[in-house]
């Protein structure tokens, strides 16, 4: 457990170092590796050389020591035997002088006494104890640790030990100095190699990374959108090939970007034109906006749009042209020119094209200071029909426009053409709608007037005549009392007369109730709802809210009255209702009329089935719409039907009701 | 015997002639003057001070109603009986408001007119039976439309909210939008409210809301 944890921690440490190493730049990596290799080599060689040299030198030192000791022994034997101390001293002195490595030498006679020695005072006693030579071996070497370092002590017996013993001590002083010198030389060599290695590594990585770094920098620039940046080719190696491939790629990128941008510009221009023409129903404003956008996209500074209105060509929009030129173009019959010809003949194949030396611009140059000579003509097409021409003025040098641009202009021309057509249709529709509304209004008011007239005629004239007939018959009856049989006949006539009067009254009330004009909408509706209930045997309720102090404008009142009439007729014919409710409510800004029944209902989305009810609802919708009102039906099979009519009617439109609203605005009666 | 002096005012000469013949044929009635419009009627009433002024409501110039008012103001001894084609209660109310004593429909002229004149002469009000019938029916019908809701009828706050909007004339769709609920939920609420209140129609709901002060109207 513990061991595996340690292993894991080691691994993670190794990974961290690995990451740190791989994250370093190439220069640091290369230099680091060079330094490490050179150092390793230097240290290893120095180590090996030092060990080897020390061993070899030590061996040769010992060999030399043995030779010196033996020489000393052979030369000193006689002197020892003769007891020539002086000779021995001389011999030792000479030996030390001729062998710088000899630290000391001394001779022990057969009695174990020091015969001669090289020490200034006496031979250290502990030195005497060590390295006792045996008789068998010719010599014996012992290493002694002294204050002056290691001493190789060599003992050589004299005459097999019978004559004494020679002891020679060799110091490693010179040996160590030699080894140290060698090590210093090696370290110096390593340092030099390291320097050279580092410089070489830096230079090499420079050579490799410089182009790569530059390539990186260029790549970043390209990434930021500078597609014109090129990578430099330093050498004909792999990096050079990479630079070439990179440059080829950026060239391709730049080309496709330019293509895209051009497409984008074209689309943006087209879009701008479409937005310009579709945002306005005003044709002139739309054309001016479209022209401005087109000029912006080319770019050009001046242009105009010629439309064919009837037989006359007019300058419908212009931009950047002198006012005088425009006025002249619009005031007089325009001299024939190619684009007008196209307009008249509708020959699309001639367009779009560059018009060189346009006669109109020529005249403009002469009279109004127009700066251009040529123009570009773009057909404005609607359903493959030329409805106008968009001309863009240009200096002649500019005239050679690319084919791609022409196709864009063609597309713009089509859009503008469609917009012109739409605007015309829209205008036409609007006019028709207005006319329709006016006609309908007039029709309705004429109908109301006519009904009013007929109702009054029936009511007053025919009614009075019948009444007088009735009265006359009554008189006749009184006078004819005596003549039997006749009074019965008169009674029958009176009956018929009264019946006719009643019918007349109902007819006139249906045509135009005098209550509406004389008592106001609330009383009229109340009467109508009550009559409806009586006539059809259903529970009919009416409630008006908020009309205590106000009355409605007469056209609103008649419309609401007719709407209720139509709605109740629908209820009577189709709903099979038991209860009918009519509500008239005034809100601060509107009048709301609700007609509700609990009949069989219907699906408002599938009205087509019942033509009569459908037409009735259409009539209601139409009347509400003419007053700017809104009509809503809520119904479902088996759920009854509720009609909502909301007519905007602010307080300003409501007239304060007087005590007798009918008296003041009652028109003079028609007496015929 | 003193005859009832009657002033005839109608813009139709034929009718006036017929009426004059009828009235003059009565032993107790005599026509003292005839007017073709309201202004003339007022003028003659002032000059002649008849017992009864028999007026049509619809007359050119000064309207019949205005004539009723003026005659009542200027010669208080003259009682006004209106002879008219109009069967709407509103007219009857206006005539009574203006000070008229009798209201006779033209279609009942030959039967009710004489009764009305004699009644008015006696100082009694007279309304054509056809009208009283409709008046009474309307009155009864009005009473009948919506009885008091059950005493234990208690609406939840949400139902009260929906009721206020229904009464204010909003469609189910509009209410659904205002309260951010579904149309189905509005319909369910409405059905519950109708059931709780015993209401038969939206009109009943409006009247209830009006009664409870749920409506704020200008």
- Low pLDDT (below 50) residues in chain A: 656-672
Q: Which one-letter DSSP state was computed for residue A459?
A: I
Structural contact between residues A507 and A459, judged by C-beta atoms closer than 8 angstroms: no
Q: Is residue A394 part of a domain?
A: no
Q: What's the whole-model pTM score?
A: 0.55
Check: CB of residue A247 under 8 Å from CB of residue A230: yes
Examine the domain organization and report whether A38 and A162 are in the same domain.
Answer: yes
Listed in sequence order, the residues at least 6 apart from B209 whose beta carbon sits closer than 8 Å to its beta carbon are B163, B164, B166, B167, B215
Closest by Cβ to B15, choosing from A467, A518, A646: A467
Asked whether residue A8 is domain-assigned, the answer is no
Task: Please check the confidence at residue B141 and state whether its pLDDT lies above 60.
Answer: no
CA A284 to chain centre: 35
Residues A219 and A241 in one domain: no
- At residue A371, the 3 state secondary structure works out as coil
Of all residues in chain B, the one with the smallest CA distance to A644 is B171
Query: Of A373, A394, A382, whose CA–CA distance to A295 is shortest?
Result: A394
A423 located within any domain: no
Residues A569 and A546 in one domain: yes
- Measured over the CA atoms of residue B181, residue B186, residue B187 and residue B193, the dihedral's sign is positive
Q: Which A positions 419-458 lie with beta carbon below 8 A of chain B?
A: 456
Q: How far apart are the C-alpha atoms of A529 and A534, rounded to whole Å?
A: 9
Residue of A nearest to B16 (CA): A468
Give yes or no: residues A100 and A239 share one domain: no
| Rounded-to-5 percentages of helix, strand, coil across chain B | 55, 15, 30
If asked whether residues A127 and A259 sit together in one domain, one would say: no
If DSSP codes are grouped into helix, strand and coil, which group holds residue B211?
A: helix
SS3 assignment, position B75 = coil
**A330 assigned to some structural domain:** no
pLDDT for the residue numbered B218: 45
CB contact under 8 A, B88 and A515: yes
Find out whether the peptide bond into A299 is cis, omega within 30 degrees of 0: yes
Q: Would you call A599 an interface residue with chain B, using a CB distance cutoff of 8 Å?
A: no
A83 lies in the same domain as A203: yes
The domain boundary residue, chosen from A272, A304, A330: A272
Residues 6+ apart with CB under 8 A from B82: B54, B55, B56, B57, B64, B68, B95, B100, B102, B103, B104
Residue A207 lies in a domain: yes
Q: Is A263 found in the same domain as A116?
A: no
Domain-ending residue, one of A171, A204, A226: A226
- ipTM score over 0.90, yes or no: no
How high is the pLDDT of residue A213?
A: 84
CATH code: domain of residue A156: 3.30.450.20
Partner B contacted by A642 (CB < 8 A): yes
Q: What's the pLDDT score for residue A564?
A: 93
Q: Using omega within 30 degrees of 0 as the cis cutoff, is the peptide bond preceding A479 cis?
A: no
Flag whether A45 is in a domain: yes
Domain count, chain A: 3
From chain B, the residues in CB contact with A530 under 8 A are 134, 138, 141
Are residue A195 and residue A49 in the same domain, yes or no?
A: yes
Q: What is the count of residue pairs from A and B with beta carbons less than 8 Å apart?
A: 174
Kindly report the CATH number assigned to the domain that includes residue A651. Answer: 3.30.565.10
pLDDT the model gives residue B143 = 46
Query: How does pLDDT run across B13-60, given as a tens digit for each residue?
Result: 888 888 888 888 888 999 999 988 888 888 888 888 899 999 888 787
Among A243, A272, A301, the domain boundary falls at A272
pLDDT in tens, B51-96: 999 988 878 777 778 888 888 888 888 899 998 888 877 888 888 8
Q: How far is B191 from chain A (nearest CA, A)?
A: 11
Residues A242 and A222 in one domain: no
What pLDDT, on the 0 to 100 scale, is given for residue A133? Answer: 62
Instruction: Output the average pLDDT for chain B.
Output: 84
Angle between helices A521-536 and B89-98 (to 10 degrees): 130
Full residue range of the structural domain in which residue A251 is found: 232-272
How close is the nearest chain A Cα to the Cα of B48, in Å? 25
Same domain for A242 and A100? no
Q: Pick from A421, A344, A341, A354: which is nearest to A381 by CA? A: A421
A567 part of a folded domain = yes
Q: What is the pLDDT of residue A658?
A: 37
Chain A residues whose beta carbon lies within 8 Å of the beta carbon of residue B27: none
Quick one: CA torsion of A586, A588, A589, A591, rounded to 10 degrees?
0
**Cβ contacts of A668 on chain B, cutoff 8 Å:** 60
Q: Does A367 touch chain B (CB under 8 A)?
A: no
pLDDT value of residue A663: 35
B99-126 average pLDDT score? 87
Residues A132 and A267 in one domain: no
Of B25, B58, B146, the CB nearest to A478: B25
- Residue A194 belongs to a domain: yes
With a CB-CB cutoff of 8 Å, which residues 524-583 of chain A face chain B? Answer: 524, 526-527, 530, 533-534, 539, 541-543, 545-546, 579-583
Chain A hits for B169, CB-CB cut-off 8 Å, are: 583, 585, 587, 592, 594, 644, 646
Residues A203 and A79 grouped into a single domain? yes
Burial of B116 (0-12, 13-18, 19+ CB in 10 A): buried
Q: Are A79 and A87 in contact (CB under 8 A)?
A: yes
Cβ contacts of A479 on chain B, cutoff 8 Å: 25
């Amino acid at each position: 457990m513990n061991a595996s944890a340690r292993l894991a921690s080691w691994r993670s440490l190794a990974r961290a170092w690995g990451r740190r190493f791989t994250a370093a730049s190439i220069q640091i990596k290369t230099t680091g590796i060079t330094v490490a290799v050179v150092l390793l080599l230097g240290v290893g060689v120095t180590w090996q050389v030092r060990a080897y040299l020390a061993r070899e030198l030590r061996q040769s030192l010992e060999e030399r020591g043995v030779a010196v000791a033996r020489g000393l022994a052979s030369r000193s034997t006689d002197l020892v035997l003769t007891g020539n101390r002086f000779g021995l001293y001389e011999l030792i002195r000479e030996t030390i002088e001729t062998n710088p490595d000899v630290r000391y030498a001394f001779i022990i006679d057969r009695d174990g006494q020091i015969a001669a020695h090289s020490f200034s005072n006496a031979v250290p006693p502990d030195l005497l104890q060590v390295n006792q030579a045996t008789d068998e071996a010719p010599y014996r070497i012992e290493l002694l640790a002294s204050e002056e370092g290691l001493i190789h002590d060599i003992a050589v017996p004299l005459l097999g030990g019978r004559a004494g013993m020679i002891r020679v001590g060799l110091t490693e002083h010179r040996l160590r100095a030699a080894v140290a010198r060698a090590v210093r030389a090696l370290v110096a060599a390593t340092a030099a190699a390291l320097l050279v290695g580092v410089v070489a590594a830096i230079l090499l990585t420079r050579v490799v990374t410089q182009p790569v770094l530059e390539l990186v920098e260029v790549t970043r620039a390209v990434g930021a959108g500078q597609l014109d940046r090129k990578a430099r080719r330093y050498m004909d190696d792999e990096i050079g090939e990479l630079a070439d491939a990179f440059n080829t790629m950026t060239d391709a990128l730049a080309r496709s970007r330019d293509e895209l941008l051009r497409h984008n510009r074209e689309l943006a221009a087209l879009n701008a034109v479409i937005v310009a023409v579709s945002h306005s129903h005003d044709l002139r404003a739309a054309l001016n906006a479209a022209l401005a956008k087109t000029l912006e996209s080319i770019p050009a500074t001046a242009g105009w749009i010629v439309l064919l209105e009837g037989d006359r060509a007019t300058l419908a929009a212009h931009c950047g042209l002198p006012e005088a030129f425009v006025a002249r173009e619009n005031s007089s019959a325009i001299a024939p020119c190619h684009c007008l010809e196209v307009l008249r003949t509708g020959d699309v194949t001639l367009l779009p094209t560059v018009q060189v030396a346009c006669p109109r611009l020529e005249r403009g140059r002469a009279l109004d200071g127009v700066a251009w000579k040529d123009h570009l003509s773009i057909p404005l097409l609607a359903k493959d029909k030329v409805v106008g021409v968009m001309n863009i003025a240009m200096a002649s040098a500019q005239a050679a426009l690319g084919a791609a641009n022409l196709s864009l202009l063609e597309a713009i021309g089509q859009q503008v053409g469609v917009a012109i057509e739409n605007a015309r249709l829209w205008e036409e529709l609007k006019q028709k709608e207005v006319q329709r509304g006016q006609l309908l209004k007039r029709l309705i008011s004429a109908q109301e007037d006519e009904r009013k007239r007929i109702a009054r005629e029936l009511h007053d004239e025919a009614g009075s005549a019948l009444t007088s007939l009735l009265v006359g018959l009554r008189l006749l009856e009184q006078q004819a009392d005596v003549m039997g049989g006749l009074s019965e006949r008169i009674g029958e006539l009176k009956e018929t007369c009264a019946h006719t009067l009643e019918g007349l009254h109902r007819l006139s009330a249906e045509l135009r109730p005098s209550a509406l004009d004389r008592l106001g909408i609330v009383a009229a509706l109340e009467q109508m709802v009550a009559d409806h209930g009586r006539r059809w045997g259903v529970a009919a309720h009416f409630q008006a809210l908020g009309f205590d102090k106000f009355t409605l404008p007469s056209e609103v009142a008649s419309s609401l009255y007719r709407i209720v009439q139509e709605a109740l007729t629908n209820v009577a014919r189709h709903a099979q209702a038991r209860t009918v409710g009519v509500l008239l409510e005034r809100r601060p800004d509107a009048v709301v009329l609700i007609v509700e029944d609990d009949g069989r209902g219907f699906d408002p989305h599938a009205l087509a089935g019942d033509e009569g009810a459908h037409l009735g609802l259409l009539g209601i919708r139409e009347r509400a719409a003419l007053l700017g009102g809104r009509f809503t039906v809520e119904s479902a099979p088996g759920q009854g039907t509720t009609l909502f009519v909301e007519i905007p009617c602010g307080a300003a439109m409501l007239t304060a009701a007087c005590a007798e609203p009918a008296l003041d605005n009652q028109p003079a009666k028609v007496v015929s | 015997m003193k005859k009832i002096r009657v002033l005839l005012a109608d813009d139709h000469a034929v009718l006036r002639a017929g009426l004059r013949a009828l009235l003059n044929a009565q032993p107790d009635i005599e026509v003292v003057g005839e007017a073709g419009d309201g202004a003339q009627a007022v003028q003659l009433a002032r000059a002649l001070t008849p017992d009864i002024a028999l007026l049509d409501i619809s007359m050119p110039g000064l309207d019949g109603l205005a004539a009723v008012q003026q005659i009542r103001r200027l010669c208080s001894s003259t009682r006004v009986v209106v002879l008219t084609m109009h069967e709407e209660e509103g007219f009857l109310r206006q005539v009574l408001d203006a000070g008229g004593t009798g209201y006779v429909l033209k279609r009942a002229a030959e039967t009710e007119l004489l009764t009305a004149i004699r009644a008015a002469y006696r100082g009694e009000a007279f309304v054509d039976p056809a009208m009283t019938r409709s008046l009474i029916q309307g009155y009864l019908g009005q009473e009948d439309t919506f009885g008091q809701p059950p005493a234990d009828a208690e609406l939840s706050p949400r139902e009260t909210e929906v009721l206020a909007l229904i009464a204010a004339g909003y469609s189910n769709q509009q209410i659904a939008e205002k309260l951010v609920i579904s149309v189905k939920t509005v319909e369910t609420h409405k059905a519950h409210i109708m059931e709780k209140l015993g209401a038969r129609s939206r009109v009943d709901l409006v009247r209830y809301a009006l009664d409870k002060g749920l409506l704020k109207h200008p």
